[in-house]
A and B are shown apart, each in its own frame.
Chain A
Amino acid sequence: MTISALPIWLVDMAGSVLMIVFSFSCLRHIRELNRRDPGNLIWTYLLWVCYLLAGFAISRSAGHILKQILLVSGHNGAWEAIRPYSGSINTFMLIIVASITLFFGRAWKIYREIVRDKIALQTTHREMLNLNETLERRVRERTEALARSEKQIAQADKLASIGQLSSGIAHEINNPLGVILGYTQLLLRDETPGSQKHDDLKTIEKHVKSCKTIVEDLLHFARSSKPRKEDIDIHKVIDDVLNFIRHRAKSDRLHIEKDYGSNIPPMFMDEKKINQVLINLMMNARHATGNEGTIRITTRSDPSVSRVFISIRDTGYGIEEKNLSRIFDPFFTTKPTGEGTGLGLAVSYGIIKNHGGDIRAESTPGNGAVFTIILPVSARNERNV
């Protein structure tokens, strides 16, 4: 068969050129990949594959082009001389390309292990950061708790000192006051109501009674008697106090809202003392609202910490920030002289502390105040002690 060699020649020449062009284009892209991520084993591997493919393309294509040119130009002898070298290089490059291709599986496996290790390292690093953050937060919380404890201890010390002083003074004053009050009331019997002397004696009686109230408050404050605990329904205690407050308020413009939690267990505590605390707080709230506002009582239980929270929020002006840290101090009051002894909150504070609880005040001036009583829910075995 005699046939045209032109198609073979054209395909050989064009194909050889294209092989070189595309192998170098591959090399250019892989070099960019390698430049983007120089430590990546896969790109390094592919770069070597491309280098060898380019070498193979050059050796093969150069041989083919040279062959075609020499044969067409009639230099058969020259081609016969070059041919062994071209063929050997071609074979050599083909074997190298085939050899390196075999390592793809191994390279991929190693790379995958590197990636796994990297991810594990990153995860550990993240966990370490989280742990560090948690540790810092705990240290901060503990530091704050310590500061609070120190403050409470200081407050307790202060209350104890004042308590001792108060009880001494109160005890000494209480008896003479009783004598003054007794004699004043005796003298009043003999005086005609409306006379100047009667009015003077009434004034004395009123002020002596006021003094006695203060002294009794002082004695209450000083006597840290152990509470007589029993199971109480806190909602019933609050309702009793609210009835008392409503009665005292004598105003339709004082709104009282209740939001009782449904899961409040019976609480083991001294009803009278808790009653006293609630009256103190609600009377303060009523005073703050001026009988025209809203007092909102909220109760809720948090079983996770075994605590019951009772909040009393009023819509009064609130408490100035400078006073907020002093409101539980004995004799501190913002009420006008003669209207408050400054012992109500101090006594309440002592009662709640004696019950193992806490009392907190929050306020933004202009937006009212909220007092929160936190009481523990005692376990049955503790209650029986």
Chain B
Amino acid sequence: MPSDPYAADRPRLHRRGFLGLTAAAAASAALAGCAGAGSAPGPGAARPGGRLRAAFPGGGADEVLDPHATDLYSEIARAKALFEKLADYGSDMSPQPRLAERWESSADLLTWRITLRQANFHDGRPVRAADVLYSYERILRPDSTRRAKASLSVIDLAGSRAVDDRTVEFRLKRPYAEFPNALSTLGAYIVPEGAENFDRPVGSGPFRFASFEPGRSFLATRNPDYWEGAPYLDELEILVGNDEAARVNALLGGQVEYAHDLTATTARSHESTGQVAIHRLPKSNFHALAMKVDRPPFDRLEVRQAFFHLIDREELVRSVLQGSGEVANDLFGKGYQYYADALPQRHQDIDRARALFRQAGVENLTLDLDTSDVSPGLREAALAIADQAKKAGVTLNVKLGNKDTYWSDISKQGVIASYRSGAMPIESHISQRLLSTSTTNNTKWQRPEFDALYHQAQSTTDEARRAQLYLDMQRQLHDEGGFVWWGVSDWIVATATNVGGVDDRAPANTLDWARFDKVWLG
């Protein structure tokens, strides 16, 4: 599962299919469903008190509390309870101020002045500009491979300074209008100056550290002095259960009140029983085909367009996503800030696809389609698309790749591959995957004029102009690009019926996802 907004997926996170137990999970869910529906008491009005136990998939004995090394969803949820970033992504992926009270940029967008809000670390020390600079310096160290490094490396650290305790001035290496995106990036947490050891972490978040056993359990207690108001919960416990069936059973058996990351099958079988509440967090996972535009046959625009037309997006959402999601329009980021929702929705048009293939002179095409079990649905999508392609006379040989090396394999080899991505701002999607210099440019979309549009958007302070430039970029991608984004799926979480305050609009990994300071036990 994607652990970070920049991730398509991380192999070591995916344990849902562990030993084929997914089928067993479905069986157990079906059996459990026989228990019958009861009228469940709702969570009622928000009230303080209690301990919430949440089950997440984890990473075993190697889990860490170092917030700059977070990787797994469980690690992010823990970091989020203890620490904060300067900003975080809202439900539309726009940056929301957190420890930063506000930000202003110079006219050339090269200098950004951040004003910190009045907040304290758990040991009573205030959060100061020096802590911010230290945290970013720690992430950006030359030998570091920390996730936030790529996004924060736009900062010229030597030229940045603390104006006073509550004001930081960042000097950037290039104009970057959406610099607050970098402040919101995964792992860009603010730790106290000098912090290196995170055995007993001290942060400024809504909960204070109590205890931690890697791969097993984590306990935190309410921070009564939290700047946004103390959480309702007295205590938050994050437990690890790698098997999906085990997480559901623990929830049904009353061992936990919150189970993270469930399948659509499980959700369906429990939705109507009244024993648990199912939360579908929308806009969480985008699903695509990645065509390499620099090599045959996809170096022909007509072939790419033919593929745009041969996909039945509705059927894929029904079958592969099991209805837990919606169709996308060949663009990343449906519903996010700057998304081009004015473009008409594309539908399957086999005649059009055939005509385009004829035009390109490549009728009865036969291709290898790379896929892998690295992420749920990836293989199913490939098989379903191979079926759909037959109608347009295209034979797709589905090749199941090694799941441990899939993402690096498809970055170099092959012509067309199953692809997916977690939530991230459209800006990050473009800068990481679609610029000539992008390190994970899996469609080999390398166009100087497209790069120029992106850089223009980043060097203008005019919000309307930037929106227009994003529209231009997306129109190009919609007409000629290498990604066929066919759907976006929900992220499924289940809670006990007495749990209130779970935000049903927040995509996985945004500010309001796993936000336990807003949750209460009724």
Q: Do A and B come from one complex?
A: no
**Chain A residues proximal to chain B, CB less than 8 Å:** none
